[in-house]
Amino acid sequence: MDISTAQSIKLTIVSATGLSKDALHVYLGMAVYLTLIVGTRRFRPYLGWLVVFIIACAGEWVDRRDDIGSFGYWRWQASAHDVLNTLFWPTVLTLLWLLKCRSKASVHP
């Protein structure tokens, strides 16, 4: 079984950090999300969430190709798990921001 360049990079990162792939998904999602939120002039967490979602889906598309090449089928449950791990904290923070905005709007008509 040949290993793709993408999988080789992932395995190198896992080996270098000592973190699991699940933990790396969580950290990557937060790093991208916070970088976008801090790096933009206007505070729009939902756009940060959308970018994290797109990046997570792109990564899983690469994994899908690798799965089909290696196993003959796509392990979509693993991909869904990875996307959920990547989006968990960005989703929580975005929902908290939306709730905060909503409560401010109801206090100041």
**pTM, whole model, 2 decimals?**
0.86
Q: Is 43 left (phi over 0), alpha (psi -120 to 50) or beta?
A: beta
pLDDT tens per residue, range 5-39: 888 898 899 999 999 999 999 999 999 999 998 88
pLDDT tens per residue, range 37-62: 888 877 788 899 999 999 999 999 99
Q: Whole-angstrom Cα distance, residue 27 to residue 7?
A: 18
